[in-house]
A and B are shown apart, each in its own frame.
Chain A
Amino acid sequence: MRLSAARRRCTKLVRLALHINHLTALPDEVGACEALQALSVFSNRLTALPPALGRCTALRELGLFDNALASVPAELGALTSLVELWLFKNQLRSLPAELSNMRSLRCSGLE
């Protein structure tokens, strides 16, 4: 008898809407979403972001506004496809220099 190894199927999520909820954190596993192009987690209670989010390199839109973020992980600098980043209405006092790697960014929403 031969037992084949378990296959692995990775998430194919392209758009995920989680805005206007009661989230205080995102799981590290969000970094497995290699196909994810739009993630909206605005209007939650997020105090931090998992550095693994920087592995979602297909992201084009990232809605983080209206949370309780005090910082943004430097790993987000790897999101070089990002076009729109919405950060307003948080508790940010500085941003990591790595964010300058986001060459596609047109709109930072930091007002």
Chain B
Amino acid sequence: MRRLIEIWPDSGRDEFALVIDRRRRHRVLIVPPLLAEMNRMRRLVATTMRALDVHGIDSFAPDLPGTNESAAPLFSQSLHTWRTAMERAARHFTATHVLAVRGGALIFPNVLPGWVLEPVSGAAILRQMVRARVVAARERGDHEDSATLIETGRTEGLMLSGYDLGPGLIAGLETARPLDEGQRQIHQSELGGAALWLRAEPGDDPAQAVRLADIIAGGISA
């Protein structure tokens, strides 16, 4: 059986996942990067899944509630709700391994063996998004400063790069550290080519996806 989009149950609501499932032994849950970085890396994730399929490995990339196709409100999400959702997805898809990408390392089920690709702190993600807002304000001739914005965000939430982030998520990001516990860290230099999460326009790099899938397949068969 092979289906591309599958529904999985989160608390009280269905969510979607991109899925390549042939009921095989090795099943990798892919926990995506957060927010803006997720858009930039969506194609890399999908291409990696196809490359894993060639290696005989099933994979699952669930939407984080409140993002992508999800009907849940983003504003009510927090790192905790995302963590819980990823645990549920891991159980639903009976994942045997996990690949967390960038900010995905803040919310992935770290009881599974697997890999963490260039993990990033919550503070770094937040700082970049707040900075984008400060720069945009300056272009309009307005003034906003990061410290005040974050303080407001902590109590009222904050609109950043078109994402309506609630106070829970802002507060969580401020202190969150990657959760990897024995998972193998993969560095961008191992994939060759430029980091796609830096790319202003979402891009693709099939060669990187093939290398990433090779590392995962090599780790599983080792």
Q: Do A and B come from one complex?
A: no
Q: Give me the interface of B with A, judged by CB distance under 8 Å.
A: none
